[in-house]
Structure 1
Amino acid sequence: MYHGAAARRISAAESPNEKLNLACIGVGGRGAANVGGVRSQNLIALVDVDEKRAEGAFKKYSSAERFSDYRKMLDKLGKDLDGVVISTPDHTHFHPAYASMQLGLHTYLEKPLAHNVWETRTLTDYARENKLATQLGNQRHAMPNMHRVVELVQSGAIGKVNEVHCWVGGSRGMPSIPKDTPPVPAGLDYELWVGPAEKRPYHPSFCPYGWRFWWEYGTGETGNWGCHILDIPFWSLGLRYPSHVNARGPEVDAERTPKSMHVTYRFDQTNQNSPLDLHWYHGTPEILAQRGLSGKGHNTLFIGEDGMLLSGFDKHELLPEEKFADFKRPEQFVPKSPGFHKEWIAACKGGDAATCNFDYTGPMAETVLLGNVAYRTGGFDWNAKTLSTGNNTKAQSLIQTAYRKGWEID
């Protein structure tokens, strides 16, 4: 046990009418929105290593006890909690989540779930084995348009789907390497911010936000957007784990994430009983121009035997338009979400599993992270059961990485 505490079954929320006792770890930036999402419950503790970024949440929820170190918070209050909401940088997802889950706490965790595949699988398996309510921060999963797209694909509107293309635009990545070493700002516990990762001198270009584009701390635009966007084909086609992953892009930098990439995943099986090629792009895919399509407002193109479906988070089109002019849409069968955070709260109280529980999102998050691995090391066959990259030993070295001294996991 990471904290030396015995795992326990929590009971504070046995009644749906009881409020949960929650701690929020990481309450600035995206974390502030997640705190707001669970504000209907008892906010017992707020944890953040950066007093300045957390200032708004600290003031707004002043009755919650404040901490800078989640470990001290769990040691003091863990026995009184029902769950945790974690919204920290990618490299510090696993440690607070695993420690909390070992104490029997239900867990809401920001995407992409963890920083590497081993961490992701470990959290996914632990949650299932210990019957913990989980939710990955894929809040767009609750959008009605996403539901309609799933219904169209699963009802066979475009026939059997043999390829899907997903993308995020822009060219964020490859930040400038800092040349100066400014002092750590007052109110920031930089040692805790670095946590289990390799320590480098503080610089505002990666702390508090630019970390996303450094491999040591983040997972690039693929990790930033992959879980949101690949959610559309994963849900629609019942995807689990790819059997092969390949990627290409600009020259690999050992420290920084790229400005573009193209990953191809091979899935041997879908809910349509057929193989699938799933393409992920950081950048605009060439297939849009080849098909005479505009990607504006969209991020996913399903190509089926009987047509195409072009989708974004809040709109979609069946193509070619003339073929579907008189198309009768299927009856709606995906239920409306009561609210993304409310799903998790209800699950914590004994209700149905939240829609983005780790059993669903774990394989998706692993797939996203495998794309980064393939870009950095070359393609490989993937054995999801053994977490093996076959003959690609460089890829294998990125599936599980070492932690800084003092942050090792027993």
Structure 2
Amino acid sequence: MTDQQITRRKALQTTAALGAGLWLGTSVRPTRAAANEKLNVAVIGIGGRGAANLNAVGKTENIVALCDVDEKRAGKAYERYSQAKSFADFRRMLDAMENQIDAVVVSTPDHTHFHPSMMAMTMGKHLYCEKPMAHSVWEVREMTKLAAKKKLATQLGMQRHAYKNMHRVVELVQSGAIGDVNEVYSWVSSSRGMPALPVKTVPPPETLDWDLWIGPAKFRPYALNAKGQGTLAPYNWRFWWDYGTGETGNWGCHILDIPFWALDLKYPTRVEASGPEVDAERTPTKMQTSFAFPATNKRPALELHWSQSKKGPAILKEKEISLKGANTLFIGSKGMLLTGFNSHKLFPEKTFEGFKAPEQSIPDSPGFHLEWINACKGGTPATCNFDYSGPLSETVLLGNTAYRAGGGFDWDAATLTAGGNENARQYLYSKFRKGWEDFTS
């Protein structure tokens, strides 16, 4: 049986149907395990971050299938979960085990989130997916829509959402401690990007299925850089536009989660970006983006600024604030709130002497992965389900879009239209490699 032949049946026609504006497999209902039963979980991508997700879910649930294109990196997981069936191709796995799987975890590189996620959800399987949700704004929107249509339990891998400090920050902002917030600065202190170019094409390791690793993206031969490292795998893919989303995609969902949650943000109406000259293939070592969000009945209009910079945004120096341990600064009508994942501080300090924090209103998380597991069994939706994390992921990717498109645009979220910048459209949608345009080949 060929890889193309195994893509039969309703679930394997997903992408073609989406392109035509259709939805297939609507008769498939999500599997609901009873609260006291264990889920049967399949995990796609089990090296690196995938290993952490696998072990977190495997503490309480049945791991019935494991899938990875790299047999060597997956080896320890195969040994630890020897009862699970192992696969290299997620299509084979889902096709063979459709009736034995309740839920799926996807922890592959960014460019291969969409296809396995859509296939699993079309089959009615609950989904945990690593951030960013997908590789383009269009992919994120399609995943969000399908999850809602199928009424599936979803969770995006924004694990810091469960941190208690995050909860306290949200409570402070929403209680009005710093007044009306009209500007927020968030940043990642990093200069990663522009990875070394390949200098030598070599055969891929025998344990790695390179064609499957490339999947739907632009094909490049396996190659080494001047240091003898893989140009793309196992990690540098993150800083190549065809496969990753740079530091913005890597950290944006984690860090922008703070203002998105605290200020109940959804879709921006204007996106701006600037930075060094755009490299067509590789992500930058620094960049700045800004998002305009309209006023709601809960808050005024505001500007959210995101930057990748070792020194943080210029406003920190202007306000004489250290970036150590921090990644977000809220500016309100009554003061400022500086926060990271694990600590926060109110400014000016004299203004907030003797300040009493509001009572806790956000309950402690039972555990980020447990939130999703409980939701799969009929409990309340997980805190980073796609209704919430979809718009956040889109916003993160819109920043990359504006940077690559050479400037800002007005954003119509309803139609996925970038007004005033025709160059942006090519970065909003995905182009899949031959054989991956749809699942009907």
TM-score range, shorter chain: over 0.9
Provide the secondary structure at the position in 1 that maps to 2:200.
coil
1:25 aligns with 2:44: yes
1:144 aligns with 2:164: yes
Q: Once the two structures are aligned, what percentage of the paired residues are identical?
A: 60
Shift of 1:402: 1.3
* 1:84-95 alignment runs, 5 A limit: 84-95=104-115
In structure 2, the partner of 1:361 is 389
In structure 2, the partner of 1:228 is 254
Q: Measure the CA separation in 2 of the matches of 1:141 and 1:297.
A: 17
Q: Check the 8 A contact 1:239/1:269 in 2, yes or no.
A: no
Task: Supply the AA of the counterpart residue of 1:395.
Answer: A
Task: Supply the AA of the counterpart residue of 2:409.
Answer: F
Shift of 1:11: 3.7
In structure 2, the partner of 1:385 is 414
Q: Measure the CA separation in 1 of the matches of 2:128 and 2:297.
A: 28
Q: Could you say if the C-alpha distance between residues 51 and 270 of structure 1 is closer, same or farther in structure 2, counting changes exceeding 3 Å?
A: farther
Deviations 1:48-79 (A, max 9, x none): 00011111111111111100000000010011
* 1:34-73 alignment runs, 5 A limit: 34-39=53-58, 40-73=60-93
Regions of 4+ moved over 6 Å: none
Q: Measure the CA separation in 2 of the matches of 1:25 and 1:131.
A: 21
Q: Measure the CA separation in 1 of the matches of 2:177 and 2:305.
A: 21
In structure 1, the partner of 2:218 is 198
What is the TM-score with the length of structure 1 in the denominator?
A: 0.98
Greater mean deviation of Cα atoms: 282-291 or 146-155 = 282-291
Shift of 1:182: 1.9
* 1:206-355 alignment runs, 5 A limit: 206-270=232-296, 272-283=298-309, 284-355=312-383
In structure 1, the partner of 2:432 is 403
In structure 1, the partner of 2:12 is 3
Shift of 1:239: 0.1
In structure 1, the partner of 2:400 is 372
Task: Supply the AA of the counterpart residue of 1:38.
Answer: V
In structure 1, the partner of 2:134 is 114
1:155 aligns with 2:175: yes
Provide the secondary structure at the position in 1 that maps to 2:252.
helix
Q: Check the 8 A contact 1:380/1:392 in 2, yes or no.
A: yes
Q: Measure the CA separation in 2 of the matches of 1:324 and 1:11.
A: 50
Shift of 1:205: 2.2
Contiguous gaps of at least 5 residues in structure 2: 1-9, 14-23, 224-229
What is the TM-score with the length of structure 2 in the denominator?
A: 0.91
In structure 2, the partner of 1:185 is 205
Shift of 1:358: 0.2
Contiguous gaps of at least 5 residues in structure 1: none
Q: Could you say if the C-alpha distance between residues 270 and 236 of structure 1 is closer, same or farther in structure 2, counting changes exceeding 3 Å?
A: farther
Deviations 1:137-190 (A, max 9, x none): 000000000000000000000000010000001200001111211220011000
Task: Supply the AA of the counterpart residue of 1:47.
Answer: C
Q: Measure the CA separation in 2 of the matches of 1:176 and 1:359.
A: 37
Q: Measure the CA separation in 1 of the matches of 2:30 and 2:152.
A: 10
Q: Measure the CA separation in 1 of the matches of 2:61 and 2:222.
A: 36
Q: Could you say if the C-alpha distance between residues 172 and 131 of structure 1 is closer, same or farther in structure 2, counting changes exceeding 3 Å?
A: same
Q: Check the 8 A contact 2:181/2:299 in 1, yes or no.
A: no
Task: Supply the AA of the counterpart residue of 1:403.
Answer: F
Provide the secondary structure at the position in 2 that maps to 1:3.
helix
Aligned length: 409
Greater mean deviation of Cα atoms: 266-275 or 346-355 = 266-275
Shift of 1:271: 6.2
In structure 2, the partner of 1:16 is 35
Provide the secondary structure at the position in 2 that maps to 1:332.
coil
Task: Supply the AA of the counterpart residue of 2:437.
Answer: E
Greater mean deviation of Cα atoms: 269-278 or 110-119 = 269-278
Deviations 1:266-297 (A, max 9, x none): 00135633100000010111110000000000
Provide the secondary structure at the position in 1 that maps to 2:185.
strand
Q: Check the 8 A contact 2:32/2:378 in 1, yes or no.
A: no
Provide the secondary structure at the position in 2 that maps to 1:263.
strand
Q: Measure the CA separation in 2 of the matches of 1:167 and 1:197.
A: 29
Q: Could you say if the C-alpha distance between residues 218 and 271 of structure 1 is closer, same or farther in structure 2, counting changes exceeding 3 Å?
A: farther
Greater mean deviation of Cα atoms: 83-92 or 391-400 = 391-400
Provide the secondary structure at the position in 2 that maps to 1:197.
coil
Task: Supply the AA of the counterpart residue of 2:182.
Answer: N
User: Aligned-residue CA RMSD in angstroms?
Assistant: 1.1
Deviations 1:3-61 (A, max 9, x none): 15845114450x10010010000000000000011011010000000011111111111
Task: Supply the AA of the counterpart residue of 2:202.
Answer: P
Q: Measure the CA separation in 2 of the matches of 1:6 and 1:124.
A: 16
Task: Supply the AA of the counterpart residue of 1:407.
Answer: W
Task: Supply the AA of the counterpart residue of 1:59.
Answer: E
Task: Supply the AA of the counterpart residue of 1:25.
Answer: I
Task: Supply the AA of the counterpart residue of 1:346.
Answer: N
Q: Measure the CA separation in 2 of the matches of 1:12 and 1:125.
A: 20
Task: Supply the AA of the counterpart residue of 1:197.
Answer: A
Q: Check the 8 A contact 1:12/1:18 in 2, yes or no.
A: no
